[in-house]
Structure 1
Amino acid sequence: MRVIGLMSGTSYDAIDAAAADLWLDGDRLVLQPLGLLSRSYSEELRAELTTSLPPASTSVRTVCRLDTGIGQAFAEAAEQAVEQLCGGHADLIVSHGQTVFHWVEDGVVRGTLQLGQPAWIAEATGTAVVSDLRSRDVAAGGQGAPLVSIFDVLWLRGRPGTPVALNLGGIANITVVPPVGDPLAFDTGPANALIDAVVHELTAGRATFDADGVMAARGRVHPELFDRLLAEPYYQRPAPKSTGKELFHLGYLASMMAGLPEIPPDDVVATVTALTARTVADAVRKYAGTEVIAAGGGIRNPVLLHLLEQELAGIPIRSTDELGLPAVAKEAYAFAVLGFLTANGLAGTVPSCTGARHASVLGSITPGRGPLPVGVAGSFPVALEIAGATP
């Protein structure tokens, strides 16, 4: 089955489209990467999205406008991917959409909302679309995140020691795959969320992220602010757990800085960058990780990676690129896998990772112009293989 995965993360900087051929070979799921592309939101759409996200208030009218605008943007990315990556034909498109709210109360996820009406994608491409992949897990008592955990477990199971998959998006999450016992996955805290927010604010919008970690490299960690940030109760909550920009946003950081003398901009960026490294490393150490296999936009920040290497003190960090999967599009490929599982009637969650009562077949299907690409798989695969990759 030829599948396109569409993803825009909590940094909402662009829509990633990754195409793959997926098939079942005995008890293994095989993924053959076909390529990837990325399309930025228009400045107008990104600005409207930015001003509507928590802690800002918004209106139902704006939510409707965003649902349509994001759906149309995803449709444009899908059309381009069908033509450029798939030779004009795809069997299935899987759209994560854009998370705008993740409703958590006392550690319990009550709901989650991803915008980007899939009908626009189906209409533009004529291809069936799987979307709204998180809600079913939430309804089953889970966190609805990190959904990439099933991909990680299938891919990394059997590696020596206790491999840990790490995604450094707006929020950082890990999947721990021990040699015995159940795997575990959770959001560790902010990855780029606070870094990006600070850079955007302190540069008056001239920059949206700390390119090459330049500001963090110039700055020094502010000890008192660092300690205040580390005291956040979220870090001590047991897994499974999930979070988002509903907690880690600019207003949150401002409250942590209240009463402190003015801190130079570069020092603020250095401090929140160090926070990401420390909280990720604490989580990896807590579960005795023996290697970290990293993906996401944060791996392009050399200062963040250097700090993480220092914090992990000898635990090796590898990019997913080294294992045959492009790190910048890992989540898009993971959602392609989730859609493939859905089309075959197979569950897309690991209950020990999301905290759900049971595993669930995920998402809703919006028909295209032809028959639904619904297959009937046999038993659930025990492993994921990246075709052509070296171990």
Structure 2
Amino acid sequence: MSSSLYIGLMSGTSLDGIDAALVDVGPNPPELLAHIHQPLPPALKQSLLELTQPSGDGEIDRLGAADVEFSRVQAHAVKNLLEKSGLRADHVAAIGSHGQTIRHRPDAPAPFTLQIGDPNTLAEQTTLTVVCDFRRRDMAAGGQGAPLVPAFHAHCCRSEQFDRVIVNIGGMANLTALPRHPGAELLGFDTGPGNVLMDAWAQRHLNQPYDRDGQWACQGEAIPALLETLLEDPFFAQPPPKSTGRERFHLGWLERHLAGFPELDPVHVQATLLQLTACSISQAIRELPLQCPDIYLCGGGAHNRALVKQIAQQLPGCQVELTSALGLDVDWMEAMAFAWLAMRRLEEKPGNLPGATGARGERILGGVYCA
């Protein structure tokens, strides 16, 4: 059956679960028809978290098991989504699966990126065609393999009247610069940690997965010397294209910096981490070749009121809103993007944005696993 309906599956560096979105890719912007969030079983989440950092003792066996188990959870999410929407599998053209990033090494001597989630299991259990492995073709063409969502941002959000910047604040944060001039280059890159450090610190000290609305951070005061030290990481000064992940920004990275600041109150560290995310995003926007662009935020960090306030304060003169003002739900942008990328693959159209990834040119992305 010919259909403009696709399912996008996204699990990011936050490891909070799988976002499943049913999308009609026909309109522009594409229409989000239904969505669910499928939490990861705690044991699988812990296994995935451990796999994001190098370790020994059966790592390949653990990776293989997590690959299949993760795809089973994905299939469960798809079945629940179809039940919620009242559709059969044959109403949907394909699934676009980002998978779960386990390792991302674009700067290695032999650059590679690894997203798990066995597409064979996913196709078998859902009876749907699966498109996955979107990142490696871009990397083979000299790109970073990330970020990929900027191509979707350009499709949905570009304006001929206004310069715009779309900022996705997930575990990591990335932006897409959308100049209003038709001939101007579109840019996109990771800016650094989004929620990943704040979430990990809240889990450690509050036993909570995140700091709701930044309320805990607001009880502390950012430590200027610590913030300056954190911002000295070479990634922040590195010119784009660039991308990053848990390989670089994780609790161990933070602890190494905290070693020079003994006996800090954890609440002040949280306030500093919030400032780190706000400063790195704001600095990246200020360095763009745009004058006071309109800023649109999405991702989990868009719900952190304290973070949004800090970003707005650091970008005076810029309008800062959520992508919902453009008709795009802040929580489902990435899942929608991978539904759209699946459509691009089946129609044999390029899915990357060379100005974001640094690839030598546009490429058709993804492998297809038939139902």
Q: With structure 2 as the length reference, what TM-score do the two structures score? A: 0.94
The 8 Å contact of residues 109 and 142 in structure 1, kept in 2 or not, is answered as no
Q: Which amino acid is the alignment partner of residue 133 of structure 1?
A: F
> Is 1:344 equivalent to 2:343 in the alignment?
no
Contact 2:172–2:192 (Cα < 8 Å) also in 1: yes
* Equivalent AA in structure 1 for residue 315 of structure 2: L
8 Å CA contact 2:9, 2:97 repeated in 1: yes
Q: What is the Cα-based RMSD across aligned positions, in Å? A: 1.6
| Matching residue's letter, 2:328 | L
What corresponds to 1:76 in structure 2? Answer: 76
Instruction: Please state how far the C-alpha of 1:52 moved relative to its aligned partner.
Output: 2.5
* 1:161 match: 162
1:358 alignment counterpart? 361
Q: Which moved more, 1:246-255 or 1:194-203?
A: 194-203
Instruction: Give the corresponding residue for 1:148.
Output: 149
TM-superposed CA distance for 1:214, in Å, is 1.8
Contact 2:157 2:326 (C-alpha < 8 Å) held by counterparts: no
Larger CA deviation: 47-56 vs 356-365: 47-56
TM-aligned CA deviation for residue 56 of structure 1: 4.9
Q: Whole-Å Cα distance in 2 between the matches of residues 140 and 189 of structure 1?
A: 23
1:231-310 mapped onto 2 (5 Å cutoff): 231-287=232-288, 288=290, 289-310=292-313
Which deviates further from its counterpart, 7-16 or 282-291? Answer: 282-291
List, as ranges, runs of 4+ consecutive aligned residues in structure 1 with deviation greater than 3 Å: 55-58
Secondary structure in 2 matching 1:66: helix
The worse-fitting range, judged by mean Cα deviation, of 82-91 and 164-173 is: 82-91
The residue identity in structure 2 corresponding to 1:139 is A
CA distance in 1 between counterparts of 2:215 and 2:160 reads: 35
CA distance in 2 between counterparts of 1:201 and 1:102 reads 25
SS of the residue aligned with 1:114? Answer: strand
Please give the per-residue CA displacement for 1:164-218, whole angstroms capped at 9, x wherever unaligned: 0110000000000113321100000000011112122223xx2121122121011
From 313, 326, 338, give the equivalent of 2:329: 326
For the residue of structure 1 that corresponds to 2:148, the secondary structure is: coil
Q: Tell me, in whole angstroms, the C-alpha distance in 2 between the residues paired with 1:77 and 1:193.
A: 24
Q: Residue type of the partner of 2:177? A: V
Structure-2 residue corresponding to 1:171:
172
1:16 equivalent to 2:19? Answer yes
Give how far 1:159 is off.
4.1
Separation in structure 2 between the aligned mates of residue 127 and residue 213 of structure 1, nearest angstrom: 40
Quote how far apart the aligned CAs of 1:32 are: 2.4
> Quick one: percent identity of the two aligned structures?
37
Structure 2 CA distance for aligned equivalents of residues 52 and 30 of structure 1: 36
Report the CA distance between 1:50 and its aligned residue.
1.9
Q: 1:101 aligns to what?
A: 103
Go from structure 1 to structure 2 and tell me whether the alpha carbon gap of 1:266 and 1:159 turns closer, same or farther (over 3 Å shift).
farther
Q: Is the 8 A contact 1:146 1:173 kept in 2?
A: yes
Aligned to 1:335: 338
Residue type at the aligned position of 2:358: G
Name the counterpart of 1:228: 229
Would the aligned equivalents of 1:71 and 1:118 in 2 still touch at CA under 8 Å?
yes
CA distance in 2, matches of 1:235, 1:317: 22
* Residue identity in the other structure for 1:152: H
Superposed CA deviations along residues 82-115 of structure 1, whole A, max 9, x for unmatched, are 2223522322111101011101327x88110001
* Structure 1 residues 30 and 168: CA distance shift in structure 2, 3 A: closer
Secondary structure of 2:66's partner? helix
Q: Is the 8 A contact 1:109 1:143 kept in 2?
A: no
Range with bigger deviation, 29-38 or 238-247: 29-38
Distance in 2, Cα, partners of 1:358 & 1:55: 32
* Conserved? CA contact 2:106–2:145, under 8 Å: no
Cα separation, 1, equivalents of 2:82 and 2:337: 18
Structure 2 unaligned residues grouped into runs of 5+: none
- Rounded to whole Å, the distance in 2 between the matches of 1:109 and 1:313 is 42
1:192 is the counterpart of 2:198: no
Separation in 2, partners of 1:109, 1:325: 37
5 Å-filtered alignment, 1:366-381, equals 366-368=369-371
C-alpha distance in 2 between matches for 1:184 and 1:48: 35
> Could you list the runs of 5+ residues in structure 1 that have no partner in the other structure?
369-391
* Aligned pairs (5 A) from 1:52-67: 52-54=51-53, 56-57=55-56, 59-67=59-67
Q: What corresponds to 1:117 in structure 2?
A: 118
Name the SS for the 1:226 alignment partner. helix
Q: Is the 8 A contact 1:55 1:251 kept in 2?
A: no
Alignment partner, residue 46 of structure 1: 45
Task: Give the letter aligned to residue 146 of structure 1.
Answer: P
Distance in 1 separating the partners of 2:210 and 2:31: 32
Q: Does the 8 Å CA contact 1:137/1:362 hold for their aligned counterparts?
A: yes
Distance 1:83 1:136 in 2: 34
CA contact (8 A) 1:240 1:355 kept: yes
Structure-1 separation of matches of 2:97 and 2:105: 20
Residue 217 of structure 2 corresponds to: 216
Deviation at 1:265, TM superposition (A): 0.8
Deviates most, 151-160 or 124-133: 151-160
Is the 2:106–2:139 Cα contact (8 Å) retained in structure 1? no
